[in-house]
Chain A
Amino acid sequence: MRRRKRMMEDLDQDIREHIGMETQDNIERGMSPEEARYAAVRKFGNVTRVKEDTREAWSFVWLEQLLQDFGFALRMLARNPGFAVVVILMLALGIGANSAVFTFAEAALLRSWPAKSPESLAKIVATTPQGGTEWFSYPDYRDLSEQCQSLEGIVAWSRHQMTLRVGAESQFVLDDWVSPNYFTVLSVHAQLGRTLSETPDPTRELIVVISDALWHRVFNADPNLVGKPILLTGKSYTVIGIAPPRFRGLQREVPTDLWLPVSMESASELQDRAYHDFELLGRLRPGVTATEAKAEFETIGRRLAEAYPSTNKATTFTLVSESERLRDALFPTFMLMTAVGLVLLICCANVAGLVLARTEMRHREIAVRLALGAGRGRLVRLLLTESALLASVGAGLGLLLASWLLRLQPALLPPAPFEIGLDLRLDSSVLAFTLVAAALTVILFGLVPALPAANLNLIPALKPVQSGPGPARRFGMRNVLVLGEIALSVVLLTASGLLVRSLVYSRGLNAGFDTRKSLVFFDLSPGLAGYNAEASLRFFQQAAEKVGGLTGVRRASFARRVLLSDSEGGAKQRVSIPGVELPQGQPNVPIKFNAVGLDYFATLGTRLIEGRDFRAADGPSGARVVVISETMARRFWPGKNALGQQIVADGKDFQIIGVAEDAKIIHIHEAPEPYMYFPFAQSPINWGTLIVETRGDPRTMVAAIRREIGNVDQNVPVGVRTLNYLLQQAFWEDQTAAGFVGALGMMGMFMAATGLYGLISFLVNRRRHEIGIRMALGAERRDVLRLVLSEGLRLAGIGIVVGCCISLGVTRLMSGLLYGVRPRDPITFATSSAVVILIALVASYIPARRAMRVDPMVALRYE
């Protein structure tokens, strides 16, 4: 740097000397001193240019110019902050959405197995007569790993659920039963302690490896945890190690909390060749190709099919290598990225429109610069610097937006008793992607308007008269784009409007119990603490009695199942009804059922229409009784009284003593169906749910209730759900669809508004002169306003008509998601159209106001 400065200082003197010498020479040739100096300067050329070029030889000049351009761009943007803000928001939206979707695609599709050299891993799959499957029985796994030569090792894992108790708290955790070679084949090492060893432990001690997430979540990253026992579903396990951070097991969407060696389980299912519960992942031996391994797997499969025809008949094995998996993932990734890339493209088009509108205003400025000797290349660079500045701020904000979007993941997933969701993170590949996206953006929205500006024809542009309407072609394209945006936003708004109306309707549906009550549910599994069904009944009765006695608790009951949740997948019992003709002459019908404790109906607020509730007398020794649903009564005893009738379920007779209102069994949108309530005391089972109605906020009572349950038996695992959680789960689909489409609608609206604003601004700038003439000829401001607004409304009108037509088709496809509102609901269509018109008015009003302020004197002065 210093050398350069010295050289540049000397240059001035050098040039002076040079010209001096040349002047001297010229004088010697006989010129007059004045003439001589003039000739010398002319011969030397442009001194400033020479200095510039020389400075360039010292090469930091590009940086200097960049800083200059940068400063200039900042000044230009600061002069028009509204423009800058809109453009930056637009780009942040486009780039942010792209980065978020890319992150998702990376985590969901592209990311390799969380293991060392994942490229040599291959998922083992089977084809059975029923179709392809990734699930294997443990005996099949053993045979495969023993017989197979082409793989270095195969790991097996199977997902289960346990309760972890720490202090008085217990919670659900997800564990994987894994083959002992799991960690060695994957080459995953414990961050603390050790992982499982391949040789089984002779002491047959119960051991467990826990995840980093669980270690932090539950054990506050206690460094002394290794070697200590933890309580899992009533048994004590020794923690032997903590898995490394970020290792979440082999299932992308649902992280594993604990790993247990499968060898500890002597469960009979491990011997059962028909029990397909294990997923297999193998590591290819070095030098073995996937094709060779596949051939070997086929052979082994055939051998097993012959040896065990009852379970393995017509079953073949093969594997999916990592490169095949990636290849399969590319197409969905591509589709995803194309869709969201289109959003970025529209953003760019809009921004280009805004920039174009602005360049139109700057024509004269650019022409003056060109006339004063600015190089066209330099000018393009100047405009590009401006674009790059906007794009980089946009990209920065976009990344913030993306990280915020990714943090929304839990809200987009259905509520679950354990942690689910992809491991989404903005890592270097996402940053690289964002950079590329931003660079493309600069090229797309920066260069397109910059090039014509640099090729400006000086003479007409310098003339003060504004050019008239430009070539129609460019308008055509932009008109179509803006029309498309308006139509799209109408479609999205209509769709989200319908979904919101449907959600409001669903929220108002009668669930068959009182959803305004303060209810809290405790899922209890006495079976896991060694209880049988009869002992469990006593446990539930005691728990309900103790909890019911707490101050702050209004009522407590219990049931085998909770409404609005798919516990047991809605299991049914076959029921025959003496004296009633069943459909299609069937001897019996499957009907969903529940087993409930005393006070169940009162606790939940389910109305009994006829008959009576269960009594303490309806116990194991009493007469068998049942309460049925309204729909069941109406279906089998139409027009008659169902009370006192008999049904036969599970080979036993039951007398109907009551009819309850219909309740939503699994899903809020299901049609009412027959349902039966048996007294828990007459058909007990060793798990169930304690249902508690509290007087105040149920959350404040949870700890006290748990303590009370613990007083009955503290070894019984407890899971807690609030009514709110239950409802969230029930409405998750509707809420997510409405929220998601609504967000898209907002985005579409923003884009349509920006697009329209850019187009109308462009038009207004082009027609300044014409507007000036109109005003000079006596047009009122009002007329100008009308002129511009009508332009915007014309576009909006066409867009809305097109959008409504598309909506008619789209909403018909959505009809499966809509409840209580027709897909052609006129109110929704009218509302979304009105919203779009409003937005169009605002978007055109801003440039219209500018048009009204055109001073005819200024616009016409240079005529």
Chain B
Amino acid sequence: MSTKEQKERIELLQGTLDLLILRTLVRGPAHGHAIAKAIEFNSDEVLQVEQGSLYPALHRLIKRGWIGVEEGTSENNRRAKFYRLTAKGRRQLAVETSKWDKLAGAIAQILRPAEQEGEP
């Protein structure tokens, strides 16, 4: 929790949280806390999720029918809600991923020449 650690972390871009949640759930159902931890862990702790903001996003996804919810027990034997990817969600993930790739590619293309100009 040092300030140095805080600085290296990046806040999520608007709308990307949905994508990350879907991606995380590909590996199987998970409860809220686990999803938050997974996002942080898989990004080598660069991406920081304000854990609370996960819940509105989860509910949005449920409403759209991209994820479902079921009761379960967590690893330390507590009752918890498990969120799982639906077929619709899986298709959406593919769409969102390709969208993201395009966006990232486009931005990279714009940024790369600038780096090269700066190099010599």
Contact = CB atoms under 8 A, between A and B. Distances in A.
A7 interface: yes
Interface string B55-81: 110011011000000000010101111
Given A7-B62, A54-B59, A18 B51 contact: yes
A22 B63 contact: no
A385 B46 CA distance: 44
A53 B56 contact: yes
Contact of A53 (B53, B74, B81): B53
B107 interface: no
Given A10-B81, A45-B50, A45-B53, A17 B31 contact: yes
Dominant secondary structure at the B interface:
helix
Given A14-B81, A39-B1, A57-B63, A45 B33 contact: no
Given A21-B33, A39-B1, A15 B55 contact: yes
B7 to A, nearest CB: 17
A587 to B, nearest CB: 100
B1 to A, nearest CB: 7
Contact of B32 (A14, A56, A57, A58): A14
A130 B78 CA distance: 101
B52 interface: yes
B32 A18 contact: yes
Contacts of B79: 17
B24 to A, nearest CB: 15
A44 B78 contact: no
Given A7-B59, A54-B56, A57-B56, A21 B74 contact: yes
A50 B53 contact: yes
A18 B33 contact: yes
Contact of B51 (A11, A45, A53, A57): A45
A43 interface: yes
A8 B59 CA distance: 9
Given A7-B59, A21-B76, 12 more contacts: A14-B80, A14-B81, A15-B55, A17-B31, A39-B1, A43-B50, A44-B50, A44-B52, A45-B50, A45-B51, A47-B52, A57-B56
Given A17-B31, A17-B33, A57-B63, A50 B56 contact: yes
Contacts of A15: 52, 55
A37 to B, nearest CB: 14
B81 A54 contact: no
Contacts of A25: 37
Contacts of A47: 52
Contacts of B52: 15, 44-47, 49-50
Interface of A: 7, 10-11, 14-15, 17-18, 20-22, 24-25, 39, 43-47, 49-50, 53-54, 56-59
Given A17-B33, A18-B32, A58 B55 contact: no
**Interface of A, helix, strand, loop or mixed by DSSP:** helix
Interface in B39-53: 50-53
Nearest to A56: B56
Contacts of A39: 1
B63 A17 contact: no
A110 to B, nearest CB: 47
A56 B33 CA distance: 21
A613 B7 CA distance: 118
Nearest to B59: A57
Contacts of B56: 50, 53-54, 56-57
Contacts of A53: 53, 55-56
5 contacts: A14-B55, A21-B33, A45-B53, A54-B55, A54-B56
- List 3 tightest A-B contacts by C-beta distance, closest first: A45-B52, A53-B56, A50-B52
B48 to A, nearest CB: 9
Contacts of B60: 57
> Which of A18, A44, A53, A58 has the most chain B CB within a 10 Å cutoff?
A18
Contacts of B36: 18
A17 B80 CA distance: 7
